[in-house]
Amino acid sequence: MRLVLASASPRRVDLLAQIGIIADQVDPAHIDETPLKNELPRQLALRLAVGKAQAVYAHHEGSLVVGADTVVGVGRRSLPKAADADEARRYLSLLSGRRHHVYGGLCVVDTKGTLHTRLIDTAVKFKRLSVEEIDDYIASGEWEGKAGAYAIQGRGGAFVEKIIGSYTNVVGLSLYETNNILNGLGYRSVKG
């Protein structure tokens, strides 16, 4: 059974490798990730995961296709990847001293084209950040390409006071949910 990962994220590739899953092919989906009007963060995460998986499955029919998306939500507001340092600074200031949610949308399209979806919700509490801490983090460049402008698996982990839920979801892909879906579909090929 071929496995295709519909993602350009090196973090997702690394996460899967941690549990012995090596995709036969990595084929990033190119879809519009703009939130719809009044779309909640949790809805956005799941819609994008499904969209990515379906777009890639169209080129790999008969394969298992894994699509995922991570959205940081503060209330009804989504914090996607920051466009620049100023936006990253605004995101971190907003997250400072607050609890937020990291929504992981997951969609596996099986060999017959059936969708298997999950929405993973992880609550994360940030400590209160000083201006200096935010400036230093922005200067590190680690925020680039990260939902919510931080990486829990890097220097951003020092900001996390508490986490309730899946750590790997915050990194970019819930290994527990992904492994369960794949096992349920008969995917047991461990490579590497």
Go through 84-121 and write b for each residue having 16 or more CB atoms within 10 A of its CB, e for each that does not. eeeebbebbebbbeeebbbbbbbbbbbbeeeebbbbbb
Nearest CA among 90, 86, 106 for reference residue 45? 106
Q: Quote the Cα angle for 167-23-142, to 5°.
A: 45
> Is 14 an annotated catalytic residue?
no
In angstroms, how far is CA 166 from the centroid of its own chain?
11
Residue of 14, 24, 32, 69 with catalytic role = 69
Helices (H), the chain: 10-18, 41-57, 85-95, 131-140, 167-171, 175-184
Torsion of the alpha carbons at 187, 188, 189 and 190, rounded to the nearest 10: 130
Q: Quote the Cα angle for 87-91-93, to 5°.
A: 115
Please, what is the angle between helix 175-184 and helix 10-18, to 10°? 70
**What is the set of active-site residues?**
69
